[in-house]
Amino acid sequence: MSAERNPMGGKAETRVDPTPHSTSGALGMKPLPSVSDARTEPSSLEASTSSAAAETANSEGTAWLGTVLGLAAWSMFFASLAFAVGWYRMREPWPPLPVSLLGLGLTGLLLFTGSGVLHLGLQRRESSWPARCALALGLAFLALQAMWTHQAWWTEHVRIPEGGVSASAFHGLTALHALHVLGVTSGLFLVCWRHARGADVRPSLRRHVLGWHFVTAMWVLLFVAVYLP
Amino acid sequence: MSLLSLDHKDVARRYLWSGLGFLLLGGLLALAIRWQWAWPGQPVPGLAWALPESRGALTPPTYTAVFTMHGLVMIFFAVTPLLFGALGHFVLPLAIGARGLAFPRLSALGYWIYALGGVLVLASFAVRLGPASAGWTAYPPLSTSAFTPGLGQTLVTVAVLCAGTSAFTYGLNFVVTVARCRAPGMTWGRLPLTVWGLFFASVLNVLFVPVLAAATALLLMDRLLGTQFFIAGAAAVGGGGDPVVYQHLFWLFGHPEVYILILPAWGMVGDLVAFFSRKPAHGYRLTAGAMGTVSALSGLVYAHHLFTSGMSPLLGRTFMVLTLLISLPAEVMFLNWLMTLWRGSVRLTSPMLAALATMVVFGLGGITGLALGAVATDVPLHGTLWVVGHFHLTMGAASFLGVFAGLYFWFPKMFGRALHEGLAKVHVLSSAVLFLGVFGGQLAAGYAGQLRRLYDPYQYTYLKHLLPLNQWTTVCAFLLGAVQVVFVVNLVWTLRRGRAAEANPWQVGTLEWTCASSPPGEGNFTQVPVVLRGPHALSQPEVLERLGRDWIGQAEVLPGVARQDTTEEAVPASEGTVSTVRSVT
Indicate whether A152 belongs to any domain: yes
A26:B528 CB<8 A:
no
Position A125 confidence tier, pLDDT thresholds 50, 70, 90: low
> What pLDDT, on the 0 to 100 scale, is given for residue B198?
97
Measured between beta carbons, the chain A residues lying within 8 angstroms of B172 are: 66, 69-70, 73
Structurally, chain A folds into a number of domains equal to 1
**Do A22 and B104 make contact, defined as CB atoms within 8 angstroms?**
no
Answer yes or no: is pLDDT of A124 > 90: no
Q: Would you call B583 and A30 a contact, using CB atoms and an 8 Å cutoff?
A: no
A38 in contact with B, Cβ within 8 Å: yes
- Nearest CA among B370, B384, B257, B386 for reference residue B321: B370
C-alpha distance from B121 to closest chain A C-alpha (Å): 24
The phi-psi region of residue B233 (left if phi > 0; otherwise alpha if psi is between -120 and 50; otherwise beta) is left
The continuous run of DSSP H or E covering A177 comes out as helix A164-196
Q: What torsion, rounded to 10 degrees, do the Cα atoms B472, B476, B482, B484 define?
A: -170
Enumerate residues 6+ apart whose C-beta is below 8 A from B12: B85, B86, B87, B88, B89, B90, B414
Looking at the partner chain, which of A20, A26, A39 has a beta carbon nearest the beta carbon of B101?
A26
Q: With contacts defined as CB-CB under 8 Å, which chain B residues touch A164? A: 228, 236-241
Q: Determine the pLDDT at residue A43.
A: 58
Query: CA dist A175 to A67, A168, A180, A208, Å?
Result: 23, 10, 9, 21
Q: What CATH number is given to the structural domain containing A190?
A: 1.20.120.80
User: What does the pLDDT average to over A138-164?
Assistant: 95
pLDDT at A44: 59
B-facing residues of A in 130-169 (CB < 8 A) are 160-169
* Contact across the interface for A164 and B93, Cβ inside 8 Å: no
Best mutation target, B9, B229, B511, to test chain A (most A CBs within 10 A): B229
- Structural domain includes residue A134: yes
The pLDDT of residue B525? 94
pLDDT confidence tier of residue A127, bands split at 50, 70 and 90: low
Q: Kindly provide the ipTM of the predicted complex, given to two decimals.
A: 0.91
Round the average pLDDT of chain B to a whole number and report it: 93
* Domain assignment of residue A35, yes or no: no
Q: Does position A120 have pLDDT exceeding 70, yes or no? A: yes
Domains of chain B: 8-497 (1.20.210.10), 511-584 (no CATH)
pLDDT single digits (tens) B279-303: 999 999 999 999 999 999 998 999 9
| B contact residues 363-422, partner A, Cβ 8 Å cutoff | none
pLDDT of residue B573: 40
d(CA A148, CA A41) in angstroms, rounded, equals 64
**Is residue A196 exposed (0-12), middle (13-18) or buried (19+ Cβ within 10 Å)?**
exposed
Q: Which of A60-64, A117-121, B414-418 has the lowest mean pLDDT?
A: A117-121
In angstroms, the Cα distances linking A167 to A116, B235, B331, B349 are 32, 17, 48, 61
* Residue B124 pLDDT > 90: yes
Of B186, B236, B245, the CB nearest to A87: B245
Q: How confident is the model at residue B235 (pLDDT cuts 50, 70, 90)?
A: confident
For residue A21, list chain B residues with Cβ-Cβ distance below 8 A: 182, 184-187
- Phi and psi torsions of B580, nearest 5°: -130, 145
Whether A79 is in a domain gets the answer: yes
pLDDT at B2 over 90: no
DSSP summary character for residue B397: I
A176-182 own/partner pairs: CB under 8 Å, 24+ apart: A176/A81, A176/B217, A177/A78, A177/A215, A177/A218, A177/A219, A177/A222, A178/A142, A178/A145, A178/A146, A180/A214, A180/A215, A180/A218, A181/A111, A181/A138, A181/A141, A181/A142, A181/A145, A181/A215, A182/A142
Q: Which residues of chain B have a CB within 8 Å of the CB of A61?
A: 180
Identity of the amino acid at B550: D
Q: Is residue A67 part of a domain?
A: no
Arithmetic mean of pLDDT, A163-181: 96
- Residue B8 to residues A62, A66, B86, B161, B203: CA-CA distances in angstroms? 17, 17, 9, 23, 19
Domain contains A150: yes
Mean per-residue pLDDT, B362-370: 94
Q: To the nearest whole angstrom, how far is the Cα of A180 from the nearest Cα of chain B?
A: 13
Mean pLDDT of B28-47: 96
CA distance B238 to chain A (A): 4
Per-window interface: B 74-93 vs A, CB < 8 A: 93
Torsion of CA B541, B543, B548, B551, to 10 degrees: -110
Q: Is A178 on the interface with B (CB under 8 A)?
A: no
The parent domain of residue A157 ranges over: 74-227
* pLDDT > 90: percent of chain B: 90
Q: What is the mean predicted confidence (pLDDT) over B335-349?
A: 96
pLDDT at A29: 35
Among candidates A21, A62, A167 on the partner chain, residue whose Cβ is nearest the Cβ of B184 = A21
Candidates A23, A80, A169; nearest CB to B249: A80
pTM of the model: 0.90
pLDDT surpasses 90 at A19: no
**Cα(B96)–Cα(B100) distance, integer angstroms:** 10
pLDDT single digits (tens) B508-565: 999 999 999 999 998 999 999 999 999 999 999 999 999 999 999 999 999 877 654 4
pLDDT greater than 90 at residue B580: no
Task: Tell me if A30 is assigned to some domain.
Answer: no
Mean pLDDT of B347-369: 96
Residue A83 to residue B248, Cβ atoms within 8 A: yes
Is the residue at A84 inside a domain? yes
